[in-house]
């Protein structure tokens, strides 16, 4: 049904392993009180990840049973929800979200928010009226929120923020 689900899972666990290995190298620097609990949890996590990979690779029956342990098996999808999520669609959505964060960092909330609304709405609706309406709405909202909160709004690293 979803083409990248399995790969995503394996990639996530591999990233966690790398992250844990980096943390382990730091542990000797800390006192006993600061290191004991993280050490226990890291060991537990590594054991669990090892078991998960063992289950994926060998399909051992008892591990499969443990992994599929669930008391709830109701899985209902909204009939109007789109069934398929393609990798391309996922990447585009991730890039849109990432571009908003990077844009805010570089040029501030006003320009990045406005640009994001323009591009996002144009990509999904292809309607100039919608684009103009949403861009104005997002800019107004940004202005109002900057009034609600105290302090100056972030202008972006390129315009003297920081």
Partner 1 sequence: MLFEVISIAFSQIFTSLGMALLLFGIVIGLTMGIIPGLGAMATIALILPFTYGWEKLDAFLLFSAIFGSTTVGGSVTAILLNTPGTPENIATTLDGYPMARKGKAAEAIATAAFSSMCGGLISLAVFIATIPLLRSISLMFGPPEIFWLGFFALVIISAVTKGSFLGSLIIGCFALILSFHGLNPITGTPRFVHGFIYLYDGFQLIPVLLGTFAVSEMIKLSLERESIAYEVVKVEGSIKKGIKNVLKNRYLFLRSLVIGYIIGAIPGIGGTVANYLAYAQAVQTSKNPETFGKGDPRGIVAPETANNAKDVGQLVPTLSLGIPGSGTMAVLLGAFILHGIQPGPFIIRDNLDVVAMIAVTLVFAFSLSCLFVMFLGQYLARLTTIDVYRIVPIVLVICFIAVYYIRYEILDIFVTLLFGMIGYILVRINVSRILLVLPIIIGPIIERNFILSLSICRGDYTYFFGPISIFLILIMVATIIYPFIKRKYKLKKMSWGD
Site for partner 1 in 27-46 (CB under 8 A): 30-31, 33-34, 36-38, 41-42, 44-45
Q: Which of 61, 70, 147, 160 binds partner 1 (CB under 8 A)?
A: 70
Nearest approach, Cβ of residue 117 and partner 1 (Å) = 4
Q: How far is the CB of 58 from partner 1 (least distance, A)?
A: 13
Interface residue with partner 1 among 18, 28, 61, 76 (CB under 8 A) is 76
CA distance 27 to 44: 15
Is 88 an interacting residue with respect to partner 1 (CB under 8 A)? Answer: no
Q: Is 3 in the site for partner 1 (CB under 8 A)?
A: no
Q: Report in angstroms the alpha-carbon separations of 138 from 70, 103, 120.
A: 43, 15, 12
In the complex, the smallest distance separating the C-beta of residue 81 from partner 1, rounded to whole angstroms, is 5
Choose among 3, 162, 1: nearest CA to 91.
3
Least distance to partner 1, CB of residue 134, Å: 6
Q: Which residues have CB under 8 Å from 49's CB, separation 6+?
A: 13, 16, 17
Cα separation, 39 vs 145, whole angstroms: 43
Verify binding: residue 21, partner 1, rule CB under 8 A: no
Nearest alpha-carbon partner for 64 in 74, 55, 75: 55
61 part of the interface to partner 1, by CB under 8 A? no
Q: Answer yes or no whether residue 1 interacts with partner 1 by CB under 8 A.
A: no
Q: Does 160 sit near partner 1 (CB under 8 A)?
A: no
Under 8 Å between Cβ of 139 and 114: yes
Among 136, 141, 158, 159, the residue binding partner 1 under the rule CB under 8 A is 141
Listed in sequence order, the residues at least 6 apart from 157 whose beta carbon sits closer than 8 Å to its beta carbon are: 105, 106
């Amino acid at each position: 049904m979803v083409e990248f689900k399995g790969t995503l899972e394996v990639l996530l666990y591999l990233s966690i392993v790398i992250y844990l290995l980096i943390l382990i190298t730091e542990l000797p620097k800390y006192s006993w009180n600061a290191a004991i609990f993280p050490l226990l949890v890291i060991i537990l996590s590594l054991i669990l990840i090892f078991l998960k990979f063992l289950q994926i690779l060998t399909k051992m029956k008892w591990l499969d049973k443990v992994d599929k342990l669930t008391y709830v098996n109701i899985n209902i999808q909204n009939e109007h929800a789109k069934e398929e999520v393609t990798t391309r669609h996922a990447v585009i959505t991730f890039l849109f979200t990432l571009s908003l964060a990077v844009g805010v960092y570089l040029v501030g909330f006003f320009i990045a928010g406005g640009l994001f609304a323009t591009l996002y709405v144009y990509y999904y609706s292809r309607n100039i009226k919608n684009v103009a309406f949403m861009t104005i709405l997002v800019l107004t909202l940004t202005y109002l929120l900057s009034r609600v909160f105290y302090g100056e709004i972030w202008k972006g690293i390129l315009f003297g923020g920081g």
